[in-house]
Amino acid sequence: NAGVTQTPKFQVLKTGQSMTLQCAQDMNHEYMSWYRQDPGMGLRLIHYSVGAGITDQGEVPNGYNVSRSTTEDFPLRLLSAAPSQTSVYFCASNLQRSSFEAFFGQGTRLTVV
């Protein structure tokens, strides 16, 4: 079982560039989320999805888009990268509605210069 797979592991972008962070899970989880982790601030929720075709905003959604066309995949798009988006990004999936144990990917370290 691969669990939650994120690609790439590292990325450097120039300000204004766009890119997509990929996330895939093979556990047939309904719920998937994207978080960013900044020093001293823990994880903050960017967007989440409760199933294919359904997404919603989290705490810090500005500058990011998501879509969920399949149960397995939940890509995060940066529309026009800014230095403030330099962070470590984590994708997570949840087992089921009544249990919120989240399974995390290994993270993508993004630097915007």
Binding residues for another protein (CB under 8 A): 4, 31, 33, 35, 40-45, 48, 50, 58-59, 90, 92, 94, 97, 99-107
As measured in angstroms, the least distance from the Cβ of 16 to another protein is 28
Compute and round to an integer the Cα radius of gyration of the chain. Answer: 13
Structure tokens at 8: 């790439």
Residues in a beta bridge with 109: 10, 88
The dihedral through the CA atoms of 72, 56, 58, 30 has a sign that is: negative
**Cβ nearer to another protein, comparing 86 with 106:** 106
In angstroms, give the least distance from the CB of 95 to another protein: 9
